[in-house]
Every structure is written in C-alpha cells, then in structure tokens.
Structure 1
C-alpha cells in the first residue's frame, strides 16, 4: 500500500503519523498522480489545528493527508477530464493532500510541467507563488509604483516581491532583521518588522506607499493600513476577511486556474521568479519538514520529495 503523512484528528503534532493508505481513485474532474514533490505551507499545520479556508464547509474525514500542492506524473484521469494523458508531468492544487506517494489533483487547477522546470520547484508554485501572483495582479499597480509586502521573507512574500519587481513595481519588504539579506537579494528595500513599523516604512519610502500586500495580519496589518490614503489598495492573505474589511481592504481573490500556474511557471523559466527552495526532505521525514515551517524558522520554501 502507498504511504502518506496524515493527521488522525484535530490537534498538535501528536496527531501526525506516516501510514499506509489506500491508493485514491480519481473522481470527475480529477487527476491521480504519482507524487514526485509536495510543497509545505503554513496552512498545512493550521488545517491540522481545525482551521477552515474561507468558504470551506463540511466535516473533514480522518485520517487526513497533509499538503495543498504537489507535482508528479499522471497515473489516471477522472470523468470529464480533457487535456491530460497518462504519463504527463503536471503540478497543481491537491484535493485531499499531497504528502503522499499518490495524490489527487484538481484538473482545472493543474497545469503541464514545462520540461525546464524541476518537480521540486513546480511543487512550490500552486499555493505560494500563485497566491502571490493573484494578489499582485489584484492590486494592478503601474510600473514605478511602490508596494509594501509584509512577511516578505516567507514563501508567499518572497514570491510576491519577485513578481511585483518583474512587473516594474518598487517593493518595500517587511521581515525580521535576520532575513534582511534575503529580502534585499529579492530586489526589495528591507524594513525590520516589529513595533514602530509605519515610521520605519515612511523613512524607507519617503515618496509614500501606493499599496500593501499583507501576509502577516494582526498588528502588522493594522499598522501597515495607516500608510495608505486609499484603503482599497490593501489586500491580505494573512488575515480573515472580516478583519481586513474593517480596515477598508480585502482578501486576495484566488483564481486557482491553470492559466495562473502557467504564468508563474513562465516567470520561473524566465529567471524572474526563484522559488527559493531552501530545504528538501524525503517523505519519511515529513514531520521534520512540517516542523521547520510550523516553528517559523523556514526561509523560502520547504519541499517534500517522493522517490519514483
């Protein structure tokens, strides 16, 4: 039986285990893939704790496989799927988790992996890079505008900085002092996080901030909002809809389409977007991979690689 890394109930790390599972069968609109790589994201451990994505309903079935994005090789396609054949190399959003030897992908949220893109890099794109792309496109800033990105040292933040820079936007990136060199290497002006953020941003960008892409929430979001005269130029992937709405902004509107995946893959191939995979782990060390992200020590992206 194939293996998967799962959580058996809501809770903490004590609920996790690597176990044998039945190989899933693709339903309508789904692809079954032999996983080659799966991205690790903060939402993975948040879901284990009982978090629900906006708009998500229904009871979770346990054991639940971790992971929201994966890259692999098509083994089978469900009813109604077109444009994909057995043997195709693909990447996309998972249906029921990706830390596994086999996973189901949504065909409408999957794309063919270009030959020049590794499975490891491809597995980082459906969540972090695509979220970053959606937010930057939602703000629709002209060349020369200035964007503030909070949480610029994380997976989504690092992608947002690079994508905005590729569109000719100046970026001020908020991150811890320890990530200063990393944020600057992405092409952003670094501003340390913490109390007094607004004052430091004003000093770094005396011409003002045209928009904010928030990936942190809480006090950071509230303080960043004070830098804008037009609060509709505030988007977040780090706070609930009601929180950002009170400040006059909105959540990032996720497209989750093949077109977005193709766009971010093209940016990688052009050298405009580096996924910055800093560590990889085999499936039998998935616990270590998830702890690296959950403990907040990850810089860039963490990926689980699955042997063929």
Structure 2
C-alpha cells in the first residue's frame, strides 16, 4: 500500500508516524496526483500541534501532513477539465502531501512549466502564493519602502524577491547569520533583537517605512507596528489576533489557480528563485519537519518522493 507520513492525534512529534494508506479516489473536481515533491512549512507542524484551518472539523483519524505538492496526474475526477493523466502539476492537496499519492482540487492546481523541477514547483503553492497575495493586498507604488519581518524564511524569501521586482525598497529582519543571504535577495538586512524598531529607523533613509509584511508575530510585530502611521499597511501571516489589536490585518489568501499560474511565470522568468536549500526522501519526512519546526531554516525544505 502507498506510504504516507501522518499524525494520529494532536501533540508533539511523538504523534507522527509512517502509515500504509489506501490510494485515495478522486471525487468531483479533484485530481489524483502521484507526488514527486512536497514542500515543508511551519503550518504543517502547527496543524499537528492542534491548530485547525477555518471551517476544518475536529481530527477524526490519521491526517497526512503536507500542504503543497508537485507531481503527475494519475486520474481525474468527474467534471474535471483542463487536466489529463500524465500532466505535471503543482498545487495544494486536500489529503496531505507527505505521501506517494494525494488529492488536489483542480481549481487550486496549475500546470507545472517544463523548466521547473518538481522540488522547485512544490514550494510555490504556500510560501510564494502567500507572499504574492500579501504584496497585492498592500498594493504599494514603486519606490515605496516595505519592511518584511522574517525575511530569511520561505515566505520572506519569496516576498523579498517579488517586492524588489515590483520596484519596492525592502528592509528585511532576520537572524544575524542570515545577513549575507538576505542581502543577496536585494534587501537591507536588520538583525532581530533588542531595539528593533530603532535600528530599523537607522537603516532606512528618512527613518520611515511605508508598509510592514510580518512573518514573525510576537514582540517583533508589536514593535515594528510603531513604525507605521497608517496601520492599514500592516499585514501578517503569523499572528491574526495580534495584528487586529494593532489595527492591521491578516494576509488575505486568494487560493486560486490563477495566482499559481502567475507565480509560475515569475519563477520561469527568474524573478522568483525557489531557493530550495534542503531535500529529504519521504522516508526521512520526520527529519524534514524537525528542521522546519526548529525555526532556523533558510529558504525552503522539500521532501522528494521516488516514482
């Protein structure tokens, strides 16, 4: 039977396990995809820990981890158009991506360009799409200054690259060890730590920023919010409740195939480099998730699945 890496109840890493699960059957509007690569994201361990998506019911059985995949269509469900067996696709699975097979809704799947590898395509649906949605939400004019907290992580790397492409000046906070990496993306690096807002003012001409794209939450979010006179230009992908108290808003996710197509075009053009920095085979999915859960990864971590 096909293998998958799942959690059996909410908790820590001890509730994760490799399981043999039946191949899922595609329903109306769904694609059965043979997974070739799956991106690893903080949301994966957060779901295991007990965070549920809006509208998601309680855990009723094993739940396969993984929120973004790239692979090959095996079968299409009733009513699906535009996709056929053998197509290379990427998107957001509904039955988990850390597996040999998964189901992906056709309306949040896109054709994978031939010039992108499976690992490169697999890291686009969550991090890059979140970055794209956030930048469109902020709708800043060219020349504006954008502060990105957590610029060295998956969403931050994508947001920095796209923001620079859209003509924005970018200041990115990250650990001191990521200074060279963040600067290679075209951003001004400010290390996290005490007096963060003050040090950001010192690093920015005129001492002001026009918007904040937060990917860290916590004390960093509360401090950098002070840099803005217009809190409508404060968004976060990390702390929905806190940002509302500060007068900002969470990133509004589009979750459409059209966004995936746009991101794929940016990747093909070289504007968006996926920056896959570590790959693991499915048999080491636990190690891949531990790397991301540590909070110290740079770029994106991917699980590769052998055909």
Report whether the alignment pairs 1:252 with 2:261: no
Q: Distance in 2 between matches of 1:182 and 1:22?
A: 42
2:107 alignment partner, SS class: strand
TM-score (norm: length of structure 2) = 0.98
| Alpha-carbon distance in structure 1 between the residues aligned to 2:114 and 2:56 | 37
Give 2:144's aligned residue.
145
Please give the residue correspondences for 1:276-291 in structure 2 after superposition, counting only pairs within 5 Å: 276-291=275-290
Q: Secondary structure at the match of 1:94?
A: coil
Aligned match of 1:307 = 306
TM-score (norm 1): 0.98
What displacement does 1:150 show? 0.2
Which consecutive aligned stretches of 4+ in structure 1 deviate over 2 angstroms post-superposition? none
Equivalent positions of 1:20-39 (< 5 A) are 20-39=20-39
Unaligned runs of 5+ in 1: none
Distance in 2 separating the partners of 1:57 and 1:222? 29
What is the CA-CA distance between 1:5 and the residue it aligns to?
A: 0.5
> Deviations along 1:75-101, whole A, 9 cap, x unmatched?
111122111111110000010210000
3-state SS of the aligned residue for 1:226?
A: helix
Q: d(CA) in 2 for partners of 1:248 and 1:129?
A: 25
Show the counterpart of 1:235. Answer: 235
Correspondence for 1:160: 159
Q: Separation in 2 of the partners of 1:247 and 1:205?
A: 22
1:219-230 to structure 2, matched below 5 A, reads 219-230=219-230
- Deviation, structure 1 residue 297: 2.3
Name the SS for the 2:205 alignment partner.
coil
State how far apart, in whole Å, the 1-side matches of 2:176 and 2:52 are: 31
- Tell me, in whole angstroms, the C-alpha distance in 1 between the residues paired with 2:105 and 2:193: 39
**Aligned-partner Cα distance in 1 for 2:215–2:145:** 17
Partner secondary structure for residue 287 of structure 1: helix
3-state SS of 1:174 partner: strand
Paired with 2:59 and 2:108, the residues of 1 have a C-alpha distance of 21
Q: Distance in 2 between matches of 1:61 and 1:305?
A: 28
Aligned to 1:116: 115
| Residue of structure 2 equivalent to 1:6 | 6
CA distance in 2, matches of 1:150, 1:238: 10
DSSP-derived class of the 1:229 partner: coil
* Structure 1 partner of 2:182: 183
Alpha-carbon RMSD across the aligned residues, in angstroms, is 0.8
> Which residue of structure 1 aligns with residue 262 of structure 2?
263
Tell me the SS of whatever aligns to 2:227: coil
C-alpha contact (below 8 Å) 2:38/2:98 kept by paired residues:
yes
Secondary structure of 2:167's partner? coil
